[in-house]
Amino acid sequence: MVSQADDVAGIISSKAGLHSFETALRDFKAQLEEDPIVHRHLSSLYDTLLEQNLCRLIEPFSRVEIAHIADLIELPIDHVEKKLSQMILDKKFAGTLDQGAGCLVIFEDPKTDAIYPATLETISNIGKVVDSLYVRSAKIMA
């Protein structure tokens, strides 16, 4: 509103921005869904906004009821549950849905293991040594 472009991202990615986006989609449904390219981009934008808002909402929790998240974001429980399960499968965050208890359990971020990159580097170096030994043996045999 005061022509500060830096504020746009914060406003759009907030819960109020998500609701304004949903309202605009509802109000101008005919115009926005007629063009398949615009529709695809708006769907992608909606998914991104929803994922960002859900990540912000679940961040302080290690275990939270799905109904509570749905109340906070003001969306139906089944919609929120479906999106959370998709985000878990897409590895947007580490967690699991406990559907019996109706809860989302969020895991701690696993610490990166330094052994894996070191092993790859060792295998690469061994490959270089084997290649140079092959070249030397080819020179000797020739």
Task: Enumerate the domain spans of the chain.
Answer: 6-110, 113-142
From CA 141, how far away is CA 59, in angstroms rounded? 64
Task: Name every residue whose Cβ is closer than 8 Å to that of residue 23 and which is 6 or more positions away in sequence.
Answer: none
CATH of region 6-110, choose from 3.90.1480.20, 1.10.3720.10, 1.20.1280.50, 1.10.10.10: 1.10.10.10
pLDDT of residue 31: 79
pLDDT of residue 83: 92
Question: Which value, to the nearest 10 degrees, does the dihedral of the CA atoms of residues 56, 59, 63, 65 take?
Answer: -10
Across the beta sheet with 95-98, the strand order is 63-65, 103-106, 95-98
Tell me the pTM: 0.62
pLDDT in tens, 43-79: 888 888 889 889 988 988 889 999 999 998 888 999 9
CA-nearest of 100, 92, 90, 91 to 65 is: 100
Q: Which residues of the chain have a pLDDT value below 70?
A: 1-17, 110
